[in-house]
Amino acid sequence: MVSVIDAIYNRRSIRRFEQTKIPESILEKLVDCGRLAPSAANLQPIEYIVIDREDVCQMVFPALRWAAYIHPQGIPKEGERPVAYIIVLINTEKTTLGVQHDTGAAIENILLAAYEEGIGSCWIGSIEREVLKTILKVPDHCQIDSVIALGYPLESPVVEEMRDSIRYWKDDTGILHVPKRPLKDILHKNIYRT
């Protein structure tokens, strides 16, 4: 059993996927984990479209942009593309205030729950939104916030302590390295220390 803290430490953005279907019950469970996230004033403006049909996945893929720092190396190749997506929508009839906090909390819940299920994920914010809205028939009162790409992982990226740059990179063996700012640089105790 993966602990929450294990999941937080070990979840990484995955951009290479096995072509094995994810059971529908697991995809529903992931959305349920989003549903239960904190929500400002409990207004709950988020709705979701789950996509797991191959033909729809194929239509969604071209509307997404991948791993800008290592372009075009980070774009999932044919045969390694996501097998499912969760489209995260904001229903603007519910609220537009503070919605990015709500979506952030819900999406992180989904990514961590996916990790526990052995599923790799990538949070995608760089989206051709109008194109995707048309493909998925999203009504005008809903905005596309993010897309979560999903599939069983075919890569194991590693975290490293950031030195000079925040840019993630791939080494000669194809392993993705993800620099994170060191704890000592971001943790201030009792007073802000410069």
Ligand X SMILES: Cc1cc2nc3c(=O)[nH]c(=O)nc-3n(C[C@H](O)[C@H](O)[C@H](O)COP(=O)(O)O)c2cc1C
| Torsion, CA 141, CA 49, CA 168, CA 108, rounded to 10 | 90
In the bound state with ligand X, the residue whose beta carbon lies nearer, of 45 and 157, is: 157
Give the one residue of 59, 105, 135, 178 binding ligand X; rule: CB under 6 A.
Answer: 178
Which of 17, 48, 66, 85 forms a contact with ligand X (CB under 6 A)?
66
Question: Does 62 interact with ligand X (rule: CB under 6 A)?
Answer: no
How far is the C-alpha of 90 from the C-alpha of 26, rounded, in Å?
22
Q: What strand order describes the sheet that includes 169-170?
A: 158-161, 176-180, 169-170
Q: Site residues for ligand X, window 157-176 (CB under 6 A)?
A: 157, 168
Report, in Å, the least distance between residue 128 CB and ligand X.
Answer: 11
Sequence-distant (6+) residues with CB within 8 A of 127 are: 63, 64, 65, 144, 146, 147
> Is 177:157 a contact under the CB 8 Å cutoff?
yes
The reply on whether position 13 binds ligand X by CB under 6 A is yes
Asked if 114 interacts with ligand X (CB under 6 A), we say: no
Q: Does 65 bind ligand X (CB under 6 A)?
A: yes
Residues at the contact surface with ligand X, assessed by CB under 6 A: 12-13, 65-67, 122-126, 157, 168, 178
